[in-house]
Amino acid sequence: MGLQLVIGNKNYSSWSFRPWLAMKVARIAFEETVIPLDAPDFKSRLTALSGAGKVPVLIEGDTRVWESLAILEYLAEKFPEASLWPRDAQARAHARAISAEMHAGFQALRRELPMNMRRPVKPHPLAVDAAADVARIEAIWSDCRRRFGQGGPFLHGAFGAADAMYAPVVSRFHTYGVEVGAVAREYMRAITALPAWSEWREAGRREPGVLPHDEVDWPAAPRE
């Protein structure tokens, strides 16, 4: 039985973007189901699938996996040839640690810079806590590239689960004109050059729905 990934709006749903991107880059076949985040039956439909009532949810037969990081772990076990985690034990432990930090942290950044693929690139002022999140993320990226990046342009060389976890941050940094150093800019270019990135971004731009709480310019909702 095939895999089904249930996701939210591609313009806004950063959590959905993570496993979707990983599966696309790893060439893992799946069927996607999009449930808009503002759909009247969103909560009831998602609660019936996972109990948590949130996207994303990965479905395989009677198996239900929710939470982005748990989905990536499931995929890594099911498709070891995809190498979603580095083969080297030290690099693998590091990749899991920074992925867990991304999953649990950076709340100020999430609040101030919601993912919005349609918004024209324009700087947005950051409060102290969000600026600290940016600095921490840039330090993570620079450390990864220095210690583990010899085999390719991504955090641990080849594209993996950690890159999928940080991909929405790449989008945020781009959309809101966040200033970062040369290493982070080069990493962002590698992520945005992925064909799967462009596929998701273009689909998000075409979506009609608008979520005011994810539009920092509201009541304006500018589009590229």
pLDDT tens profile 67-89: 999 999 999 999 999 999 999 99
Q: Write out pLDDT tens, residues 165-206.
A: 999 999 999 999 999 999 999 999 999 999 999 999 999 999
- Please, what's the b/e burial string for 46-71 (b: 16 or more CB within 10 A of its CB; e: otherwise)? beebbeeebbbbbbeeeeebbbbbeb
Contacting residues for 155 by C-beta, under 8 A, at least 6 apart = 95, 98, 141, 144, 145, 148, 149, 162, 163, 166, 187
What are the sequence ranges of the domains in the chain? 3-82, 89-203
The topology (CATH level 3) of 3-82 is: Glutaredoxin (3.40.30)
- The mean pLDDT value for 98-111 works out to 97
How many C-alpha atoms does 52 have within 13 Å on its Cβ side? 11
Does this model's pTM top 0.75?
A: yes
Is CATH 3.40.50.720 correct for 89-203?
no
- Residue 1 confidence (pLDDT) above 80: no
The sign of the torsion formed by the CA atoms of 205, 207, 208, 212 equals: negative
- Residue 224 confidence (pLDDT) above 90: no
CB 114 within 8 A of CB 214: yes
